[in-house]
Amino acid sequence: MITLENLTKSYRTKGQQKVVARGINATFPTGVAVALLGRNGAGKSTLMRLIAGNAKPTSGRIWSDGTISWPVGFAGSFHGELTGAQNVKFISRIYGVDTDMLIDFVEDFAELGEHYRLPFRTYSSGMKSRLAFGVSMGIRFDTYLVDEVTSVGDQRFKEKANEVFQKRIGASGAIVVSHSMNVIRQMCTKAAVLENGNLTMFDNVEDAIARHMENMKS
């Protein structure tokens, strides 16, 4: 599980103080897909970065008794001069997973062909996303962080990606950010709504969606 204890996060933007979290106390259970809802600018992506460890809270703490992924599909940490395969090899060593297994999995999943062994800087945005998504799915985590992930490629590839993704979060858990309520209903069994720095947890997804829609109208 992932527990937020008196979590506070604020920062200055455009000369104004932005508060993302106001002493939040909440628990995201293990093995459950939880939707994270909130209007644009509520701080959902910032909260995800805090949970991932990519940002530090102003005060309070976050702790977990399991492994947490980086945001699924995030390609920002790949080295431009390394090939796709070399980047995968580097990541496998960081996370202590079988190098050959991960390289083979990503090669088969991402369908990059000869580009898999060309420098990452030469990739199109779609190719970068496919490589990043493949690496995310190739490493098993207790909780996957999913921030508006979209599969790229033709319909066949999207179906393959969705099948693998559903298997991963089915065996583990996830925190999911999406503007599509259909995606939320399909993927999640619980939900949380972030509004004005406060996080409200819901056992029923429909109740959370109703609260979110009320907030959107206000």
List pLDDT tens digits, range 93-112. 999 999 999 999 999 999 99
Range(s) of the domain holding residue 22? 2-67+176-217
pLDDT, position 153: 64
Is the pLDDT at 181 greater than 80, yes or no?
yes
110 and 182 inside one domain: no
Cα dist from 45 to 11, 102, 176, whole Å: 14, 27, 10
162 and 202 inside one domain: no
95 and 82 inside one domain: yes
Q: Report the CATH number that the domain containing residue 126 is assigned in CATH.
A: 3.40.50.300
23 and 82 inside one domain: no
61 and 98 inside one domain: no
List pLDDT tens digits, range 127-176. 998 898 889 889 999 999 987 665 566 778 777 877 887 888 778 899 99
Indicate the number of domains in the chain. Answer: 2
The DSSP line for 128-191 is: HHHHHHHHHHHS--SEEEEES----S-HHHHHHHHHHHHHHHHHSEEEEE-S-HHHHHHH-SEE
194 and 113 inside one domain: no
Last residue of a domain, which of 155, 170, 185? 170
164 and 75 inside one domain: yes
